[in-house]
Structure 1
Amino acid sequence: MSISLLALFLALGSFGAGLLGALTGLGGGLVVVPMMTLLFHIDLRYAIGASLVSVIATSSGAAAAYVREGFTNVRVGIFLEVATTVGALSGAALAGFIPTSALAVLFGLVLLYTAYRSLRAPEEHPTDLPSDPLA
């Protein structure tokens, strides 16, 4: 496969992943990483790294639209961003020490759990609770 054709297929797949990620709130990496590893035989570590770089742009664009529409609690988002940044830095540091096969199993388990939770009936939550001061 030529590099141009590979780039075209990756771009089309990434477009679909970004669309699904913005519509569902699931990270585009849930689509991009399996696409790159299974269809294009890209090493899992490179696929994860490339996915993380692309998620920055995807998340920023989608977040701006959600904030503009008033669908976002910015204060909660800031707390989440701080925690996820620390987690991402920790995960990136650990990834170099974890065998690729273990990363693949972990990624597969996350995919299965995500599918399970997505297909379950949503839990009922009370709507008359007082607002949390942090929110």
Structure 2
Amino acid sequence: MTTLVFSAIVAGVSFCAGFLGSLTGLGGGVVIVPLLTLVFGADIRYAIGASLISIIATSSGAAAAYVKEGFTNIRIGMLLEIATTIGALVGASLVAVIPANVIAVIFGLVLLQSAYLASRHRPEHATANLPADPLAARLRLDG
């Protein structure tokens, strides 16, 4: 496979990953990591690293659009960002000591769990009539 063909395939799949990630909120890593590891034989650590770098740009762009349209709760976003940043630092520190096959199993389990949760049928209902969670009310996370 030539470099040009490889680059075209990765660019096309990356476009699809960015589109699906911003549309569904799943993140492009769901598409990019399996592509790089299973199709191109990349080490999972490098695939995850490359995916994270690309997600920075796509997440920033998508987040700006969601904020502009008013589809976000900035308070919840800030709380999530703090927690995910701490989790990312811990995960990035551990990736050097965890064997690649263990990381692959963890990644696979996360994909399976995501697929299961996304496929569950939940009845549509209005949340306006539900009582607010006390912690959410104290943190002013409603609306």
TM-score where L is the length of structure 2:
0.89
* Whole-Å separation in 2 of the counterparts to 1:22 and 1:4: 27
Which position in structure 2 is the counterpart of 1:107? 107
Asked if 1:132 corresponds to 2:137, the answer is: yes
**Correspondence for 1:78:** 78
Q: Which shows bigger deviation, 86-95 or 117-126? A: 117-126
CA drift of 1:127 comes to: 3.0
* Corresponding residue number in structure 2 for 1:66: 66
Aligned residues: 135
- Please identify runs of 4+ aligned residues in structure 1 that moved more than 4 A: 123-126
Residue 45 (structure 1) aligns with: 45
Letter in 1 for 2:4: S
SS in 2 for 1:122: coil
Stretches of structure 2 that go unaligned for 5 or more consecutive residues are none
Query: How far is the alpha carbon of 1:27 from its aligned partner?
Result: 1.3
Distance in 2 of aligned mates of 1:82 and 1:120: 28
Residue 104 of structure 1, CA deviation: 0.5
Q: Which deviations, in whole Å up to 9, do the C-alpha atoms of 1:54-97 show, x marking residues without a partner?
A: 11001000000000000000111011111101110110000000
Partner of 1:90: 90
Q: Which residue of 1 aligns with 2:56?
A: 56
The one-letter code matched in structure 1 to 2:111 is L
In percent, how many aligned pairs have the same letter? Answer: 57
TM (norm. structure 1) is 0.94
Deviation at 1:132, TM superposition (A): 2.0
Structure 1 pair 76–42 and aligned structure 2 pair: CA distance change class (3 A): same
Question: Cα offset for 1:133?
Answer: 3.6
